[in-house]
Structure 1
C-alpha cells in the first residue's frame, strides 16, 4: 500500500522578501559564528525596519555554549533558533549516534530549514543567515557531508575564510568543493591577520579569477580572564565590526545579488522566447508563460520558478520542486547533481581535458568498455565503438551491419539495402538514423529523409481493467486461436517467453513473420540488418511490444538467410565455438532508451532471451550528466572491416570520440548501477519470490534470472491496477522505472498528434501541495513518467498520489 509522507517536500529557498544566505566555513574554529553575528547585527543596523534571523540547523555541545546563545547574547535584536541540539561536543554524526533523540534524516532536516525560512519570509522583508557546523565537508547527523546534504536548498553562500597558517589552501579547497556541487559563493569574509596576510592573497585570487569580493573584519579581542570584561569587550567588538565599511559593503553586495538573481529568473522565459530555438516544439504556439524556468536540480527534482506578481506578492516562495517525470528525456538515473558523477567529470577534466582517441587509449575509455562488455552478459559482443549520442551511435550500428551483410551476400555498392524493423520504431534525429524509421511525424517533412527499410506490425501489451492484454493489430491476424487479444494474470506471465514458446504461442508469430519476409523477397527487397528497440518503442508512443514476438522475429531472421540472399549456401558460413557468428541478418538492439536498468535489467534485450550482434547504449550510460554513446559489436561484425585497404575501415568518428570526461562519468554511472543491483537497493520494488530467487544466485544479478522471473516495477501494482480501470485511461503498463499511461481521447484519437494526454500533463504541472508538482512530457495520447534508479519509494508514492489527484481533474 502507498506509504505516508513524513514531511512536506522541500524546494530551493528563495523569496522576494527574504535574503537567505548560508554561512560555510573553510575549516572549524575560524569564526563562522562571529561573522554570522556581525552580519546579523549589521543587517539590523543598515535595514532597521526589516527583521533579521539566525538559524543553526545542527549544533553540538552544551546548550549554554550553543551558537544561537552567542547570537542572543551579543545581538539580542536578532531572532535566533537551533533546530537540532546534541549535547556531546563532537561531530554531529557521532553526537546523533549516541544521543537518545531520533536522528533526523537529510530530508527532514531540509524540510525543517525550508519551513523556518518560509515563516521568516511571511513576516515581511528581512535577512536570514543559516550557519553550518564545522567545515564544508563536516558530516551532518545522518553522516552525509554538509556540502552534499544542504545542496538541494541551493542557498547562496557566504564563505568564511581561514586566516591561520595554511588557511589559503583550506579556503580555496572549500570554495572548490562548494563550486563543484553547484553552490554560488557570493562573498568571502575572513579576519584580517597581519602575520600571514591570507586576506591579501585571497582578495586577489577570488577577485581576479572568480569575480568574488573578499572582505575582512578585525580579529576579536583576546579572551579576558574576567567573564564580565570579556562580554563587554565582545559587545564593543560587535558594535564596531557591524558598523564597519567592509561589512556594510558585503551586505550591500549580498542585497544586490539577491535582487539580480530574482530579476534574471523572472526575465529568462521572455528572453528565451526571443532567443532560443526549442527542440520538438511548435514555437508559433509557444508563449513565455509556457516556458519552465529551471533554477537548479537535485535528486529527482527540478527547482522551477513559480509565476508571481512582483508588485503584490512578496512573501510567496519563488521556487518549487518539480519531479522530473521524463527523467530529462530519459537520461537521468542517478539523481541530478550527483556528487560522485560530478567528481568523476571533474577528475577526468582535470587529468585529461579531451585527448585525441584514434589509435590511442586512456583508462576511462578502456575501463568503461570492459565494464560494459562484462555487464551485458552477451557472449557475442566483443568490441566497443564510442560516439557522441544515441542517434549517431545508431548510425554507427547500421554502418557496421550493412557492411557485414553486403560482404557476406556479395551485393554491389550500388544496390539498395535497407533495414528491417517495427512500425513506430525511431532511432534518432540525424538523417541517417531517421532513414531507419518508417515515415512518421518526426521525419515526414524533413527534406532529405528517405526511409530505407520495411517495418512490420506487431502485438502490444497493456494492462486494462486489471488484466494484462496482448493485442495484435488487425493486419496481423489473431494472436492465438484466431483471437486478437489474449490476457494474462501478470506481466511476468507475459515475459515468461520460454514457457509461452513451449506452449506453441509463438507459432502464429513465426508464420506471419515468415510470410512477410517471403513477400518482401518476392518484391526484390534487400536488407542488411534487423534493427529493434527491445521491449519498448520509445518515441513511437511508449509501446510495450509482446516480448515473445520480438524473440520470435530474431530467431526467424537468424535461420532465414535464404530469404535475404538467393542461393546463399549456409553450409559455407563460418562457425564459432561461442555461437557469436551472425546469421541471416546482423541483429541490432537499440537500447539507448531501454538499456542499463531503465526496464529493470542491465540489458533490456535480455528480457527477450536472445542476444544481439550489435547493441547501442546512451542516455543512462552517463547517469544524465554528459553526452556519450557506446555501440557494442561482435567479433564477426568487426572482422567485416578488416582489410589491407584503409578505405575499408569503419571511417566514422567525432572530434570528441571517447572523450575522457564522458567515459569516466559513464564508468562511475555503470559501476554504481551494478552496485545498486547487487546490494539489493531495488528489493523494495520486487516481489518476495523475486527477492528469494536473487538471493539464490551467486552474483545476485537480475540479469541472470529468466526473463519472466525478473519483471519488476517501482510503480505499485495496486496503483497500476487502479489506473487500468480509470474511465479516461485506455491502457497502462509499468516496467522497471517506467510508467506509461495511454489516455482515451473523446474522439478515440491516438498517436503523436493527439492531445488526449495534455489535460493530465497540465494538471500535474499545476499541482500544489506538500507533494509538489510534476514536470512531464507527452507522446500524443501517452503520458509517461520515469523514476530514476535512485528514486526512493517515498518519492514514487508521492508521484502516484499526484497522478491520482490529477486524473480526478481531467475533463474529456
Structure 2
C-alpha cells in the first residue's frame, strides 16, 4: 500500500506536530510541559509522545527526557523510532537511510496504534528534529517530509538574537506549505524580548502565543540536582494558565475542524452551482468534502459513520480518508498536489509582481515561458505566444486567429457568407460560445440558446484493445469507403505512420478525406476557415482514441489541397513554415504536456500545427493559464495600419506573472523527468516483443502496465480499453444507451469510491459509459499496481 497517503484526523486522538524555528529552542521541554499539563487539565486522557528520528547519546534522548519527567504518570507514553548515537544532523548519520515513504509509513502505523490503545480522548505530540528545514535522514527538508501528514503545528519560536526573523521565517515556510500553525510557544528573555514582538505578530493572525520562563541553568556535575530542579520547573509550568488556555483552545479548534468538515457538503448543496451537474436530485451524500491534497491523494471527509465499515481504522473515529485523485483534478494535475517547487515558484512571483498588466509590457516569467514553449514545442513553424486564462478561451483565440488568417489570404467577405471549421465528431474545445460552435450538436451545446454549429465534423476510426488485440475500429457508416476493422500486432505498430501511410488503409483514408472535402467545398459550396482537432484523443467526447494515421492524413490532405478552399492563385504557401490550405489548430489542452507520454501530442501525428493551444498540465495543476502558439504567417494576418486589424482579444489577467512562473517551472520539471529516464520502466514494458524500439522510432508507452490492459480487455462488461501515458480509458458495454448520458459506469464509480476493505478510496469520473482513471506524471509504481488491482475488482473480474 502506498505510504504517502496523507494526514491524520480522528475524533479521539488529537495529534499535533512540534516544530522548532531553530535548533535548541526547547521543543522537548515544551513537549514535556504540554504532556504534563494535558494530564493535569484532562486527567482521563492519555498522552503519546513520538520522536521519529533522534541523534545523540541515548542517555540524552528526547523520548527518555519526556518519560523521565512524566514518570509519575503511566498515562504518558514516549518513544523514538530511530535513534542514532552521533550528535549531528540526521542526514549525516545513516549509511543506508530509510526512504521518506517508509519512514512516513512507520509513523502512520504508530499513530494508528496509538489510536487503538484507548477509547477515551487522547493527545499525540510528534516532535521534529532541529528547525523547520533541518534535513531528514534522506536529506529532504522536514517541512516537506512531514507535509503528507499535515498535522496541526505547535511552533516553538526562538527567543535568542535573530530569533524574530527565524521564527517568522519558520512560520511562513510552514504556512506556505499548507500547515495550520495553531499555537506558538517560546521562552521569555529579558534582554532580547522577542516574545513581545512575536506575540503581537501572531495575534494578528489569530494564533495564541504562550511565553514561559526558561528552564533553570544546568549545574555542572550535579545530575540529581539538575533533575530535581527540572521536576520543580515542570510542575510549576504545567500549571500555567496560558498553557491551560492553549490546551482548551486546541481542543476546541480540533472539534470545530471536524464539525466544519461534517457540514460542508450540506452547506454546499444550498450555496454552490456545480459545473456539469444536474442538481435536481443532488444530495450531500454525493459531494466529496476535501480537507487537503498532497501528491496523488485528496484527504476527504469520511462520512461512512459506521464503525464496522472502518474497523481497521478505528471506525467512525477516522475523520479523513485518503482518496486517489483518479481524474487528475479534471486533467490538470501532473506533478502532484502541493508540489513544493511549484508552490515556491508561485510564492516568488506573487511576492515579486502580484499581477501586472501585460499590454505593451513584458515581465520575465511571461517572456521566459514563451521562449521555453517555443523552444520545446515548435519544430520551426510556431513563433508567437498569446496568453489567456484557460483552455476554452485559448481555443477561442485560436479560432479567431485561424479564421482571420484564412480571410486575409483568400479575401472572402465574412459579412456575406460565414465560414465554418473542419473538425472531428465528438470534439470538445470548451464552453465559451465561439468554440462551442466548433463542435457538432451534442449534450454540451445543443441546449445553449446561442449555439449554432458551424462546420463539418468527420467521423473517424478509433483505437482500442479488444480481448487482447489492438483493433482499429471503423465506424459503420464509413465501411463502404474504408473497409472493415483492422487488427494490429502492437500499439507501437499503430503509430508507425510512414509505412502505414503507404498501406492500402492509408490510401483509403486519403481518398475518403479528399472526396469528402471536394463534396463540401465544390458540390455544396461551403466555406471553411480552419481545421481544428484534438491530437490523438478526444477527451470530453468520451476519451475517443483516434487512429493517428487518420488525423495525420486529414492534416496532410488539407495542406496539400489549397485550391479546395479558394481557387485563387494566391493560395500557394510561400515557405515551409507558412500555413497551406487551412490554418491547422491543434487543441492540446488535454493531450499535451506528457499527459499521453510526450511533451506534445502533435508528435504522434508527425505534424506541426499552425496554431497550438496548451493549458491544464501547463501549470502542473496549480493555476489556470493557457498559451496559444501561432506561426508567423498567422501572426502576419493581424498586421495593418488600423487598430481594428489587430487581434482585439485579451483578459485582465493575461500572462499572469504567477501563472507564467509556475508554468515555466512545471514544463521544465516535466522535461527533466523525461531526460532523467523516470518513465524508463514503463517504456520498457511497452516496447515491441523483441525488446527495443526501432531505430529513430519514438516510443509509445503508458504507466498502466501492458499485461493489466490486456487483462481488462477480456472482462465481460468491457467493450474495449486503451492506455497511453498516464491515461487509462475503459469503454463499458452499454448497448443502445452508450454515450455521455449513459449510466453504465455508475456501478464502477461507486465501487471505486468506497470500499471498507482498503485504506483509501478513488475519486473517479465517467464520460457516459466510458470510465477513465488518470495518474499524474509522478505517480509511483506501487500506487499504480494497487490501482490496477482495485480497477479489476471494481469491474467484477
Q: TM-score, normalised by structure 2?
A: 0.96
1:267 aligns with 2:263: yes
Cα distance in 2 for partners of 1:126, 1:104 equals: 29
1:639-681 Cα offsets, whole Å, 9 max, x none, are 0000011110000000000010000000000010111111111
2:311 corresponds to which residue?
A: none
Per-residue CA distance 1:93-116 (angstroms, 9 max, x = gap): 11123xxxx522212222222222
Map Cα deviations across residues 548-585 of structure 1 (whole Å, 9 max, x no partner): 000000011111222112x2215x63522xx1110000
- Are 2:776 and 1:775 aligned? no
Q: Show the 5 A alignment for 1:140-539.
A: 140-208=136-204, 210-225=205-220, 226-309=222-305, 316-414=317-415, 415-477=417-479, 482=483, 484-521=484-521, 522-539=523-540
CA contact (8 A) 2:427 2:540 kept: yes
Distance in 1 (CA, whole Å) between partners of 2:53 and 2:637 is: 64
Cα distance, 1:504 vs structure 2: 3.7
Task: Select 1:114's aligned residue among 108, 112, 118.
Answer: 108
Deviation larger for 607-616 or 763-772: 763-772
CA–CA distance in structure 1, aligned partners of residues 789 and 481 of structure 2:
36
Q: Residue 639 of structure 1 corresponds to which residue in structure 2? A: 636
Pair 1:673 & 2:670 matched: yes
In 2, Cα distance between equivalents of 1:308 and 1:548 = 49
The answer as to 2:620 corresponding to 1:619 is: no
- Within the candidate set 745, 753, 757, 1:765 is matched to 753
Deviation at 1:142, TM superposition (A): 1.6
Residues 327-350 of structure 1, C-alpha deviations (whole Å, 9 max, x = no match)? 000000000000000000000000
| Counterpart Cα distance in 1 of 2:749 and 2:306 | 27
Distance 2:443 2:524 in 1: 27
SS in structure 2 of the partner of residue 258 of structure 1: helix
User: SS at 2:182's partner residue?
Assistant: strand
User: How far apart are the structure 1 equivalents of 2:35 and 2:525?
Assistant: 82
On the 8 A contact 1:93/1:141 being kept in 2, the answer is yes
Measured after TM superposition, the shift of residue 66 of structure 1 is 1.0
Return the offset for 1:316: 2.8
Deviations 1:15-72 (A, max 9, x none): 0001100000000000000001100110111110111110111111222211100001
Kindly state the Cα deviation for residue 378 of structure 1 after the two structures are TM-superposed: 2.3
In angstroms, what is the RMSD of aligned CA positions? 2.0
SS in structure 2 opposite 1:687?
helix
Residues 345-372 of structure 1, C-alpha deviation per residue, up to 9 Å, x if partnerless? Answer: 0000000000010011000000000000
From 669, 680, 697, the equivalent of 1:683 is: 680
The answer on whether the counterparts of 1:86 and 1:95 sit within 8 Å (CA) in structure 2 is yes
Answer yes or no: is 1:55 the counterpart of 2:50.
Answer: yes
> TM-score w.r.t. structure 1 length?
0.94
1:535-550 alignment, distance < 5 Å = 535-550=536-551
Aligned-residue offset at 1:314: 7.3
Please say if residues 479 and 486 of structure 1, whose CA atoms lie closer than 8 Å, have aligned partners that are also in contact. no
User: What is the deviation of 1:694?
Assistant: 13
Q: What displacement does 1:136 show?
A: 0.3
Q: Deviations over 1:488-547 (max 9, x none)?
A: 111111111112113343111111111111121121211000000000000000000000
Instruction: Pick one of 84, 88, 91 that aligns with 1:90.
Output: 88
> SS where residue 557 of structure 2 aligns?
helix
> Counterparts of 2:670 and 2:534 in 1: how far apart (Å)?
21
Q: Distance in 2 between matches of 1:559 and 1:666?
A: 35
The 2-side partners of 1:308 and 1:236 are apart by 47
Residue in structure 2 matched with residue 131 of structure 1 by the alignment = 127
- Asked whether the 8 Å contact 1:558–1:585 carries over to 2, the reply is yes
Provide, for residues 613-654 of structure 1, a one-character-per-residue CA deviation record: whole Å limited to 9, x for no partner.
Answer: 000000000000000000000000000000011110000000
Q: Deviations over 1:732-758 (max 9, x none)?
A: 00001100011113x452110111111
8 Å CA contact 1:535–1:604 kept in 2: the answer is yes
- What residue is the counterpart of 1:701 in the other structure? none
Distance 2:636 2:693 in 1: 39
| CA separation of 1:808 and 1:696: change in aligned 2, threshold 3 A | closer
The whole-number CA distance in structure 1 between the counterparts of 2:98 and 2:636 is: 59
CA apart distance, 1:767: 2.5
- The aligned residue for residue 700 of structure 1 is none
How many angstroms does 1:475 deviate by?
1.4
- What is the CA distance between 1:770 and its match in structure 2? 4.6
Contact 2:307 2:316 in 1 (8 A): no
Query: 1:310 deviation in Å?
Result: 9.7
Q: Which deviations, in whole Å up to 9, do the C-alpha atoms of 1:374-402 show, x marking residues without a partner?
A: 11142100000000000000000000000
Cα-to-partner distance string for 1:117-136 (whole Å, 9 max, x where unaligned): 22222212110100000000
User: 2:739 aligned with 1:735, yes or no?
Assistant: no
- What is the CA-CA distance between 1:309 and the residue it aligns to? 3.8
- How many residues matched? 784
Would the aligned equivalents of 1:562 and 1:568 in 2 still touch at CA under 8 Å? Answer: yes
Inter-partner Cα distance in structure 1 for 2:442 and 2:242 = 64
- What corresponds to 1:80 in structure 2? 78
Is 1:715 aligned to residue 704 of structure 2? yes
Deviation at 1:472, TM superposition (A): 1.0
1:760-799 deviation digits (Å, cap 9, x = unpaired): 1110011344552210110000111111111111111111
3-state secondary structure, aligned to 1:283: coil
Q: Is the 8 A contact 2:157 2:186 kept in 1?
A: yes
8 A Cα contact 2:322 2:759, kept in partner? no
SS at match of 1:36: helix
Over residues 115-161 of structure 1, what are the superposed CA-to-partner deviations in whole Å (9 max), with x where a residue is unaligned?
22222222121101000000001111121111001101110000000
